[in-house]
Amino acid sequence: MKKETKISDFISSFSFDQRLAEYDILGSMAHVKMLSKCKIISSGDGVKIINGLKAILKGLNNDKKIPKQEDIHYAVEKELIRRIGPVGGKMHTARSRNDQVSLDLRLYIRDEIRQIYDLLADAQKSIISQAKKNHEAVMPGYTHLQPAQPILFSHHILAYAWMFQRDKERLKDCYKRVNVLPLGSASLAGTSFPIDRKYVAKLLGFRGVMNNSIDAVSDRDFVVEFVFALSLIASHLSRLCEDLIVWSSAEFGFISMADEFTSGSSIMPQKRNPDAAEIIRGKTGRVYGDLITLLTLMKGIPLSYNRDMQEDKPPLFDAVDSMKSVLEITAPLLLGITVNPEKMLEATKNGYICATEVADYLAKKNVPFRTAHKIVKDMVKYCIKKNIKLDELTGAELKKFSKNFNKDISSFLKPDKVVYMKSSEGGTSPKSVKKQIKDLSSLL
């Protein structure tokens, strides 16, 4: 049976923008206060409208839904008029849905930025707590996923806490551009009513007003920018989860995840799969998709407002919902990790991980680093052939490679000694890592 498509349903955004109801009402309250202060409407009418809006808001808080209209802006207005009569129609004086929708989005995003900022701080706290608990656990550091140099586990996970710090700064910076008032631009041209935009900005906590009414109704940079910030958070989390997944595999065994973040297999009874971390990793694609949707949506549409822009909300809400659900479990997931320092140390025996240290040892004895690099490369080749480790070379064998080798080389071959040598600022030595923890904690 062919179902009739109703054009009004097709045009409507109510199914998704009704979640902006509260912001729409708060924005309208400030607008009406201004209309009445500027004597554009009488103070009596202003009070009636504001009381009506308050009643709608109260209803919403008690789960009383506003009946469906073309969009949330019409729905609130219609409901207001139903409650207080035609005077409710004065609310829309000196504004348009074009500046109104931008205002609602800005109020919504401001709130979400604050919440996501706090969730990132929670994740940082979990990392700091793990870094303190396992401060001196030594593990192989990898480049190209090949053993590279010994590092501290605490150093490795703190790298993520610094990424989250940048994510927080990015959100803060984005907030600055979100936090400007578009209202008062009306459709696109401004208005002939004697409005006071600065007053509305003050009432709603905006740092200022948008300078160009056409820009104000056309701009969705702040949505794109915010979803980009979320995308980068997703990228960071996907890398973190990849590390956790690899480390928790039987082959690595560096960590185990708390049971509640893993699940079994329906067929293989022995399995504990890192599902939560995998889903976090998987959400990244979804959030990138939202970003690409927004960028594509905004490409090439003429100024000023176009109805295409209504399609900004589903990807925005999806990105926010996805990232909040992800971030809400990130902090407990990180806190629930158990580290196996023995396994980590054991793994540092593979892959000639102290080779760079040996080259540095020679370089410190005045051998040009490039020559030292070649000497150690030959040493490693020799060891691979003999199937031995660097610390199994005899004194005589070492001397054959370079007369500069002395007994003191032995500590340069021990991963748990080598990490102490990396005392440069920001390096992996326990002392440097301690300073990192202090510096980061002071930023939280």
Nearer to ligand ARG, 98 or 126 (CB): 98
Nearer to ligand ARG, 71 or 122 (CB): 71
Burial, 193: exposed, middle or buried (Cβ in 10 Å; 0-12, 13-18, 19+)?
Answer: middle
Assess whether 92 carries a catalytic annotation: no
Nearer to ligand ARG, 303 or 384 (CB): 303
Min dist CB 224 to ligand ARG, Å, is: 15
* Closest to 95 measured CA to CA, from 175, 1, 27, 145: 27
Q: 232 near 58, Cβ under 8 Å?
A: no
Give the CA-trace dihedral at 378, 380, 383, 388, to 10 degrees.
160
User: Tokens 């708060």 map to which residue?
Assistant: 26
Assess whether 265 carries a catalytic annotation: yes
Per DSSP, helices labelled H in 134-188 are: 153-178
Nearer to ligand ARG, 48 or 73 (CB): 73
CA distance 192 to 219: 22
Min dist CB 219 to ligand ARG, Å, is: 13
Determine the distance from the C-alpha atom of residue 316 to the mean position of all C-alpha atoms in its chain, rounded to a whole number.
14
Nearer to ligand ARG, 13 or 262 (CB): 13
Question: Which residue among the candidates 15, 265, 423, 441 is catalytic per the annotation?
Answer: 265
CA distance 188 to 179: 19
Q: For residue 358, what is the enclosing H or E element?
A: helix 355-364
DSSP three-state, residue 349: coil
Min dist CB 188 to ligand ARG, Å, is: 10
Q: Which residues bind ligand ARG (CB under 6 A)?
A: 13, 17, 71, 73, 97-98, 101, 305, 307, 309-310
CA distance 149 to 356: 7
Min dist CB 311 to ligand ARG, Å, is: 8
Min dist CB 20 to ligand ARG, Å, is: 9
Question: Which residue among the candidates 144, 192, 424, 442 is catalytic per the annotation?
Answer: 144
Positions marked active-site: 144, 265
